[in-house]
Amino acid sequence: MSKKRYIQIIIFLFIALATYWTIRYKMRLYAIKKEHNHTIGFVYKVHANQSKYSSVTVYYSYNVNSKKYYSKEQHSDMIESNSNDFVGLKFDVLYQKSNPKNSKILINTEDYYFFDMSCPYPSSVLKKYFY
């Protein structure tokens, strides 16, 4: 097999995996949007992923029926230098009624708009944290 063919296969696999992860993520969000409950979450850690394509991972916990759940999300639009300000703050969390492990923390305007909710934070405040 030629070098060109190997490169084509690698590119195809990369595109296939990226498509799979995107569809899976969107399906998870639409499942939450379809049937969700609301709770308050607590950010207990943030981690700036230092790479060519930087992002910030937000770690949060929330309670559902006296059971504590932990989750995390990556935000590529978060300003890394200010991300530690989120540690210790409380945010809205939506979770799927039938699967409370499936959750989404709402920390920017796009999150609220996706779920047809108004964002309680002024855009002037969020500009400090998001691009």
Q: For 5-62, how does the pLDDT look when each residue is reduced to its tens digit (9 = 90+)?
A: 888 888 888 888 888 777 877 888 888 989 999 999 999 999 887 766 678 899 999 9
Chain centre distance of CA 21: 13
Closest CA to 40 of 99, 96, 106, 84: 106
pLDDT for 21 equals 79
How many other β-carbons are positioned within 10 Å of the β-carbon of residue 83? 19
Q: Reduced to 3 states, what is the DSSP secondary structure of residue 88?
A: coil
Residue bearing the bigger pLDDT, 130 or 44: 44
Chain centre distance of CA 65: 23
Q: Where in the chain are the domains?
A: 35-126
pLDDT for 52 equals 61
Percent of the chain with pLDDT over 70: 98
pLDDT for 17 equals 85
pTM: 0.79
Residue bearing the bigger pLDDT, 37 or 85: 37
Query: 101 pLDDT exceeds 70?
Result: yes
The third-level CATH classification (topology) of the domain covering 35-126 is OB fold (Dihydrolipoamide Acetyltransferase, E2P) (2.40.50)
**What's the sign of the alpha-carbon dihedral 13, 16, 19, 21?**
negative
- Which residues partner with 93 through β-bridges? 39, 105
